[in-house]
Amino acid sequence: MYEKYYGLTCKPFQLTPDSRVVFRSEGHQEALAILKYGILSKKGFLVLTANVGLGKTTLLQALVDSLGVDVRLCLLNNPLLYRDEFFSYLGDKLGLPWDGNKARFLVDFEVLLKSAYARGERVLLIIDEAHVLPVELLEEIRLLSNLDVRGQDVLSIFLVGQPELNELMSADRFLPLRQRVGIRFDLQPFDLQATKQYILFRLRHAGARHLNLFSDEAIAAIHKVSRGTPRLINIVCDHALLMGFADSQPVITGPLIKECVQDLHFPGEANPLPIAESGRRGLQPGRMVLLVLGLLAIGCGLLVSMELLDLDRVGDLLENMIPGPWLEKIRMIFDQ
């Protein structure tokens, strides 16, 4: 809705992970380097933890995109599986048959590891969201490493998840697993400088001709409320650009960020922005009109794309319904 107004070619703060647009802070660069080192150094188990929204999944996708043909990969994004489902998934990714016979599968898996060693290949198993792994399945994964004959060290297993993963592995039954973890890394949120660099990075990739769309005061407010979490930074910045467009503000300021965050409520936060001490203005009538009519324009656009409404008819309809002062902005929305 606001791209043309701010001179952007696309939305800069999409929530969907995109490995083509990955901002690598010092912490992210270090984490990616450690993941690559975990493969090359043949450490066996690696544990990477980070709070929600810090970019673990995007980081893993960047790792996957960098792998060579000598790495055979199984990436499991949803580990809430029963044992048979896990072995079926693992077999499908590595080209091994699964007929429900675990003993037969383990024999085939051991042959696979020996074959990979002979060809100079690596086998990499990545478990994303590992903090929700069922205890029984985590034990199965540990036992898989027993098949990697000492001296070959072909198999690497990466457990990636939220800090609760450390609590899960702290149980006495997982002492053998903890002793096999060769590398641990905890990804930290952005500091203020990294937050600024991240915002400028996203704007640059969205084609911004002017990178000063956010004032320093606004960036400081964004960092404080998001606590340096990229996902929350995206949410606040996207909402701020929408509100700035609605208010015809060419630069996003600190007060606008404070007002913006009052309209957002993050789970578990009674006061979403501690620095916003002034009273909430609420959604201004003009902004409400703009947002409602913007949704109307988008809806009409969908009907046109489905050939349920004629484009000329849409133009007549909008011109009759929209007040003159808002017409140009709505046309901008409809054109996009």
Starting at the earlier edge strand, list the strands of the sheet with 71-76: 71-76, 122-127, 155-161, 45-50, 181-187
Give the separation between CA 68 and CA 258, rounded to whole angstroms.
46
Tokens 């002979």 correspond to what residue?
Answer: 118
166 alpha carbon, distance to own chain's centre: 21
One DSSP character per residue, 252-275 reads B-HHHHHHHHHT---TT-SSS-TT
In this structure, what DSSP letter does residue 214 have? B
Nearest alpha carbon to residue 70 among 9, 116, 104: 116
Residue 282 has a pLDDT of 43
Residue type, 218: A
Q: What is the pLDDT of residues 190-226, one digit of tens each?
A: 999 999 999 999 999 999 888 899 999 999 999 999 9
Please name every residue paired with 157 in a beta bridge, in sequence order, or none if there are none: 45, 125
Residue 298 has a pLDDT of 57
Structure tokens at 248: 């015809």
Give the separation between CA 102 and CA 157, rounded to whole angstroms.
19
The pair phi, psi for residue 304, each rounded to 5°, is -65, -45
CB 99 within 8 A of CB 132: no
CB 261 within 8 A of CB 273: yes
Tens digit of pLDDT at every position of the chain (336 positions): 788 888 898 999 987 766 667 788 888 899 999 999 998 887 789 999 999 889 888 889 889 989 988 999 999 999 999 999 999 999 999 999 999 999 999 999 999 999 999 999 999 999 999 999 999 999 999 999 888 876 678 999 999 999 999 999 998 889 989 988 989 999 999 999 999 999 999 999 999 888 899 999 999 999 999 999 999 999 999 999 999 998 899 999 999 998 888 877 655 555 444 433 333 344 444 454 455 555 565 555 555 555 555 555 555 555 555 545 445 555 554 454
